[in-house]
A and B are shown apart, each in its own frame.
Chain A
Amino acid sequence: MGVKKILNNLRGIIGLSWSLTKANFKLRNEGSYLGLFWYLLYPLLMFVILFTIKGALYKNTSIEFYPAYLMLGLIVYNFITGTLSSSINLMLSNKHFIKSMNINKNSLILANVLQTTFSHVFEFFLFFVLLLITGVPLINIFFYPLVFILIFFFLIGISSIFSIIGSYIYDLKNIWTIVSGILLFVTPVAFIIQKNTSLETINQFNPLYYYITLSRELIIYSRIPSQEIIWGAIICSLVFFIIGTLIFNKFKRKLAEVV
């Protein structure tokens, strides 16, 4: 396949993904009285709850710039778990396209990630306001696109896997609800992980840990993250992107019959 054809294919996928994203965005907000406010309500509520819990249970544990620490952890967690949650039913909810048209199915994956990126941008606005209020330097926010690109590729890969498994096994939705709940408390979203604990060992296998820590180090604490965190995030993105794409391309031709 020539470079020109690859570029044309890529342009086609991006164009279609954009159309699907816009359509899904309209469908999601259709008839909603509060509209975009709903995008902010959930992270705000979670922030208040976790902030209160931390204040009550861990009075002696001091975390510098805690409000920003918590909010950034929450929005990265929401971005990843929210995208995966919607990717499980992705093929089923688009079966009217898959069964009747020769739609590029990779576009459905990209559109889903783009759609949750919208929510992520709104949530990031909350974080920005919090930085202003708490006096954390704003300049480092320009590092976030680097972290975002890594998360984006990770999400494309793992969403591809989830969408395929979700098409075959309906239970994945329920399993993921439980797993994502556990992840909220295993991942250092609201708390700090102590050194040399079992939780630290577990998090070495948790991609969310790398992305959340990477973003906090760069944006809130103005520090260059450790080699382990940088390479952990890069490897997670690359490995999941490659494996996810391979799995999706292998199974996508059967989707019209499965959904």
Chain B
Amino acid sequence: MEKNIILEAREIVKEFSIETKSQSLLAKILKEILTKSQKKKIRVIDKVNLDLRKGELLGIIGRNGSGKSTLLKILAGIYYPGEGSIKCKKEPLYLSGWGQGLQQRLSVKDNIFLLGSINGLSQRDIRKKFREIIDFAGLRDFVEAKVEHLSSGMITRLTFSIGIHCLEHKKPELLLLDEVFGAGGDLEFQRKALEKTEALIKTGITIILVTHNLDLIQKYCNRCIWLENGRIKMQGEPEKVVEDYTKSFS
């Protein structure tokens, strides 16, 4: 692996079984005996190669179901690759979008402590950041409210605020972002979220960014990958890739 390359993925393949789960032991045994057919599988990622240089900001775009999030989860270590290899010099931090990981029946406060811990912060660190998280999300009057009682916009603000403040504190060297830019919050919040994100980008951190926000890709990314049916359809200058991707809809 070259010195300035922080992440190297080779010939990544990922398949998922699309059969109905029948995990009763009896059902499994019967199925094995009665059916000889091969398991139905769908190939979500198909021989993807990827190099990421230190300080690079790589955007990944594509239609729904093209494999963007799956690829990111493989790189993050949430899914394992069926085939291929991944070499990663730095431990990646993965953040995904709307309401992920929130416990609906717990309060806003409890969720901040829980998600903060999952993202690697100690209880003391979370206590230090707590007020900032609440204020940024604009949820000062809802600290003890259960998440199930919040509006979808509030949930977006809370998720983003927890995520971005954890990032600020942990200062990871490799960041994998999956639609985390506050879409769903009001305009004021989206502006704040963008400012925070810009500040993060300017720190020189290496980022892979999965988003449908093409303006964001063109504005910040050094390189862009267009994923279609699990394969890299095109990669290169963000302007060019975004242009061709947009044309594909017409």
Contacts and interface: CB of A to CB of B under 8 A. Distances in A.
Interface of A: 11-12, 15-16, 18-20, 22-23, 26-27, 30, 96-103, 168-172, 253-254, 256-257
**Which range contains the number of B residues in contact with the other chain?**
20 to 34
A62 B24 CA distance: 45
Contacts of A98: 78
21 contacts: A11-B122, A15-B117, A15-B123, A18-B123, A19-B123, A20-B114, A22-B110, A22-B113, A23-B103, A30-B105, A96-B101, A98-B78, A101-B78, A101-B96, A101-B101, A102-B77, A102-B78, A169-B24, A169-B28, A170-B25, A171-B24
Contacts of B113: 19, 22-23
Given A23-B103, A169-B25, A170-B23, A101 B79 contact: no
Contacts, number: 75
B32 to A, nearest CB: 13
Contacts of A22: 110, 113
Q: Chain A interface mostly helix, strand, loop or mixed?
A: helix
**Closest 7 interchain pairs by CB?**
A19-B117, A171-B25, A100-B100, A170-B23, A16-B117, A253-B80, A23-B114
Contact of A168 (B23, B73, B78, B123): B23
Nearest to A99: B78
Given A26-B110, A257-B79, A101 B100 contact: yes
A11 B28 CA distance: 40
Contacts of A256: 73, 78-79
A100 B101 contact: yes
B76 interface: yes
Contacts of A97: 101, 118
Contacts of A19: 113-114, 116-118, 123
Given A18-B123, A102-B78, A23 B24 contact: no
Contact of B106 (A11, A26, A100): A26
